[in-house]
Amino acid sequence: MTVDPVADPRRRSTRLLVPLLPAVLLFAGCGDGDGGTLLPPELPDPARGEVAFIQSCGGCHSSHDGFDLAHFGFADSTVLRRAVAHVDTSTALDIIAHINDLGVSPVARDLRIFQPMGDPASGDVDLATALFGRDAWPDDWGEADLLEVDPVAVPWAVAFPVWSDEESNLDWMPDRPPPDVLLDTRGGLVRGALAGYTAAPTDDNLDRALLALRLVSHDRTSPVAPCAQTDDGALADPAECFEVTRWTASLAGQHVLREGLSFDGEVAGGTRAQDAFWDVGQAARRGLVKNRTPVDHAEDNWVSWMVLGWVFAPENHASGYTASGLARAGLPRHATFVALRSLAARRPGVHQPYSDLRTAAVRAPMGWLEPAMYTGLRTLEAREARGEGPNSALRREEAAEALEGAIVTLQRRMGLLGSASLVSRIRDLEGFDAGGE
Ligand code: HEC
């Protein structure tokens, strides 16, 4: 997270542009073919560059104004190299002038955005060591201990995506813009929402744009929605869904980056932004396990985007998806923590904490299973004692089903005898009684 000390964009602009000019002169000379009259080059014009960026780059680069390229401090030579794939050289120089004119002080370009503790931890055990001081789930942990852990203040052995990676798809930048059919469907809902956000980039307008993008890309009744699910959970077009959700995530990401590198789930648009990150992971997951036509690095994308969506809002989303991705990645301790930390964070009255208990029963490493289950049980009991158990017949039914699943899993993993006292505590939970109102 190093900040370039060269904060004055004008100085930076001059310093980096000058070495490029002779090359451009040469270029112009060759192209003219009139053997030698080198006209003085027209000076790069940031205003022209801004228009050109919107036209030729803004489709993929959701920042619309090039903020992302300035924020991650891509060298002028890199911008030139990438730009000439889309525009002529003199327009590329205009774009460089515009980006340098934005006055953004850059961060490291390989920054893993929002990565807790700055760098990924090296393995599963590192999380345990950070949480408990050793590789064991503590016997006496309860609700307060879980809630005390801030998920962004512990090391994750999950590498969050960088903004741009030319070698792989483990980055925020989508390979293509959202297709016109998506922008135009439903009377141009997305186009309108994006125009509104561009005109006034407020949290509320971001929220509207994210909502519009999610609606049109996931709408089950729409023939053009790439993330529409079939009944078996497969996606209409998993590759396109991955790109559209990444574009949506990058729109949310660049908004948050403009406001500084912290991420407060309370800001308007905050939850929707976290959902947008999560959706990328879900696109990667469904394409892999449901469609069986995975995008590249499907498992890494699944885990990193879901964890990214989760760390800021552990009360949201089904922990089972995140935890199964973590388990596949060889991180069962991370999976256990996600399940139980979610359990403690859930809103009163919902059934999800019971599913979280089942997730922990499935994912906890053998040596952690019993103490982790007791932590979960104590937390559920505390919730019920406060009257926060499932508050409708449907939710009680869901809770009971999840607890049945936990029981079956524990009996399979620990044996009937070994699981007996845990199982009887589970049967005592209010949520276990699916009786109607
Ligand atoms: C068709 C989509 C698309 C368009 C249009 C586009 N880009 Fe990009 N750009 C990308 C993607 C995708 C990346 C991420 C790296 C990758 O996957 O190659 C990227 C990355 C970059 C980078 C960082 C490269 C690095 O070293 O990591 C720069 C600089 C850049 N683009 C500049 C531009 C400029 C300037 C324009 C307009 C003249 C533009 N791009 C138009 C898709 C696009």
CB atoms under 10 Å from CB of 19, counted, come to 10
The residue whose C-alpha atom lies closest to atom 41 belonging to ligand 1 is 57
Cα four-point dihedral sign 151, 152, 155, 161: positive
The Cα–Cα gap between 113 and 110 comes to 9
Q: Is 414 helix (H, G, I), strand (E, B) or coil?
A: helix
The Cα–Cα gap between 9 and 107 comes to 14
pLDDT, tens digit, 9 for 90 and up, residues 329-345? 999 999 999 999 999 99
Name the residue with higher pLDDT: 430 or 86: 86
The DSSP annotation for 252-296 comes to HHHHHHHT-S---TTSTTHHHHHHHHHHHHHHHHHIIIIIS-PPT
Instruction: State the distance from the centre of ligand 1 to the C-alpha of 191, rounded, in angstroms.
Output: 22
Domain map (residue ranges) of the chain: 9-101, 115-157+314-437, 171-296
pLDDT, tens digit, 9 for 90 and up, residues 356-371? 999 999 999 999 999 9
Pull the structure tokens for residue 182.
């998506």
pLDDT, tens digit, 9 for 90 and up, residues 122-135? 999 999 999 999 99
User: Which ligand 1 atom is nearest residue 52's CA?
Assistant: 38
Instruction: State the distance from the centre of ligand 1 to the C-alpha of 109, rounded, in angstroms.
Output: 13
92-96, 265-269, 281-285: which range is least confident on average? 265-269
Average pLDDT score over residue span 404-425: 98
Instruction: State the distance from the centre of ligand 1 to the C-alpha of 82, rounded, in angstroms.
Output: 6
Q: 273 CB contacts (<8 Å, ≥6 apart)?
A: 206, 210, 252, 253, 255, 256, 263
